[in-house]
Amino acid sequence: MIALTGDRPTGRLHLGHYIGSLKNRVVLQETCDQYIMIADLQALTDHFESPRTITDSVLELVADYLAVGIDPMKSTIFVQSQISALSEMTMYFMNLVSISRVERNPTVKAEIAQKGFNDSIPVGFVCYPISQAADITAFKADIVPVGDDQLPMIEQTNEIVRKFNRIYSTNCLKEVKPRLSHVSRLVGIDGQAKAGKSLNNAIFLSDTSEAIKTKVFSMFTDPNHIRVSDPGKVEGNVVFSYLDAFFEDKDELEDLKKQYRKGGLGDTTIKSKLNDTLQSLLQPIREKRAQLSRDFLREICHEGTKKAQRVASDTLEEIRDAIGLKYGI
């Protein structure tokens, strides 16, 4: 089974990525032929004015991958922009999708509103689901492990696959299935629904032990939980959201919640528990990260990208054949 996943390189990876996808990939690489794409072309669609943000993040992403246990012998890590077959495939696929169809994509719609493009939406941006269809089909992926925000991309991909195969009488493209991760999205340390670099509200895998502690102790709890003896709210309490995601002993966690709701459990106690949990999760990751040289990271990227180039150009050949772009010249 072939799996394809990817991340936009716009900063280092954080705990939301860890529970949302990285943990999953470490497991999947044991049973799947897994490709992990660093989606720098896609990142350019909304960062075209600040390419350094992207180019500076590529090796950081590779370091995060290897530090959490992605094994380059089992997973192929590659850089999207270095595979020109993907851009050419995107070009062929663009003919198969109407403008109103790309504009209907709910994820793209939400991003347009959030980024404040207003009347100047870059064509490249609305088309990124088409380029994503090229990423997925070039590697003949069977599954794409994703969060639910990516479901519209899979749907779009399968529409393109069916249309391409029908129009050009071929079966060279393969439909793909999403593999949904069932963890809920990790909130920011300030309680905002989204954690991220620009919001400065995430705990990064590469954060120092002091930074982790400072962030944990600055987390929002329950504003009405003033004295230790006051009853407190667990729902919407950021510390408990993180404990839900990372604290292994679920029975102990239930007891803590009960006590907190009743009153008598202080914020300092739950924050210390969370700090201990995150420190022991992130310390080995940070140490592994520190051992990785830039040369080694570059080498991993180079090897992965070479392999990805071979696979994608084979698919591109089939696509050109199906369309009939052969002139004997």
CA separation (Å) from 305 to 64, 277, 285, 308?
17, 36, 24, 5
- Long-range CB pairs of 167-175 (<8 Å, 24+ gap) are 167/96, 168/322, 168/323, 168/324, 169/322, 170/318, 170/322, 172/315, 172/318, 172/319, 172/321, 172/322, 173/137, 173/319, 174/137, 174/140, 174/141, 174/142
Strand ordering across the sheet containing 177-180: 75-79, 33-38, 2-7, 143-146, 177-180
Q: What is the token pair recorded at 80?
A: 């999207």
Provide the binding-site residues for ligand TRP, judged by CB under 6 A. Answer: 4-8, 37, 39, 42, 132, 135-136, 144, 146, 150
Minimum distance from CB of 6 to ligand TRP (Å)?
Answer: 3
Smallest gap, in angstroms, from Cβ of residue 82 to ligand TRP? 14
E strands present in the chain: 2-7, 33-38, 75-79, 143-146, 177-180
Cβ-closest position to ligand TRP: 6
Identity of the residue, 39 or 234, whose beta carbon is nearer to ligand TRP in the bound complex = 39
Q: How many CA atoms lie within 13 A of 192 on its CB side?
A: 11
Please state whether 294 falls in left (phi above 0), alpha (psi between -120 and 50) or beta. alpha
CB of 58 to ligand TRP, least distance (A): 14
**In 10 A of CB 127, how many CB atoms?**
18
CB of 44 to ligand TRP, least distance (A): 12
Compute the least distance from the CB of residue 109 to ligand TRP, in Å.
15
Looking at the Cβ atoms of 37 and 186, the one nearer to ligand TRP is 37
Q: In the chain, how long is the greatest CA-to-CA distance?
A: 83
Residue 42 or 237: the one with the smaller Cβ distance to ligand TRP is 42
Name which of 4 and 238 has its Cβ closer to ligand TRP.
4
Nearer to ligand TRP, 28 or 212 (CB): 28
For ligand TRP, the closer CB: 8 or 289: 8
Is residue 173 within 8 A of residue 159, CB to CB? The reply is: no
End-to-end CA distance of the chain: 37
Least distance from C-beta 32 to ligand TRP, angstroms?
14
When the beta carbons of 127 and 146 are compared against ligand TRP, the nearer one is 146
Query: Rounded to the nearest whole angstrom, what is the least distance from the CB of residue 23 to ligand TRP in the complex?
Result: 16
Which CB sits closer to ligand TRP, 135 or 222?
A: 135
Q: CA 171: distance to chain centroid?
A: 29
Least separation in angstroms between residue 110's CB and ligand TRP is 12
